[in-house]
Amino acid sequence: MEALRLILLFVHLVGFALLLGGAISQFLSGTFRISPAVLWGSIIQLVSGLGLAAPLRGGGDAEPDPIKLVVKLVIAVMIFIMVFIPRKREAVNKGHYIGIITLTLANAAVAVFWR
């Protein structure tokens, strides 16, 4: 179980790198298109996050707060919708990208600070 949790956590961190790194690099280069890194990052975060939300820690106090997991899921679904719907568009608004980056940072903050 612990090995599975660590593998899922590793994949989750790779997805985080793709999503945040992809979004910031698009933003800084001024090309406001949904890149494959951003799209795949958001999908990987949803799938690996749902896996991590399973009771893999032997139950009890070691498991993350279910309310925290619901908050993370809602934010991740919002990011996925913001990325999936305009994925074929030439470009989205600058504000749309700022929204994706802010929500991604918010979800990482929820992961780290909500104990």
CB 87 → ligand HEM: shortest distance, Å?
A: 16
* Whole-angstrom distance, CA of residue 98 vs CA of residue 82: 11
For helices 94-113 and 2-29, give the axis angle rounded to 10 degrees: 150
Is 18 near ligand HEM (CB under 6 A)?
A: no
Is 97 near ligand HEM (CB under 6 A)?
A: no
Name which position in 37, 78, 101, 111 contacts ligand HEM (CB under 6 A). 111
- Amino acid, single-letter form, for residue 112: V
Whether 45 and 105 have beta carbons less than 8 Å apart is answered as no
What is the CB neighbour count within 10 angstroms for residue 79?
A: 25
* Separate counts of helices (H) and strands (E) for the chain: 4, 0
The contact pattern for ligand HEM, residues 37-76, with x = CB under 6 A and - = no contact, is --------xx--xx-xx----------x----x--xx--x
Q: Which is nearer to ligand HEM, 2 or 90 (CB)?
A: 2
**Which residues, 6 or more positions from 53, have their beta carbon under 8 angstroms from its beta carbon?**
64, 69, 73
Is 16 near ligand HEM (CB under 6 A)?
A: yes
Interface residues with ligand HEM (CB under 6 A) are 5, 9, 12, 16, 19, 45-46, 49-50, 52-53, 64, 69, 72-73, 76, 79, 104, 107-108, 111-112
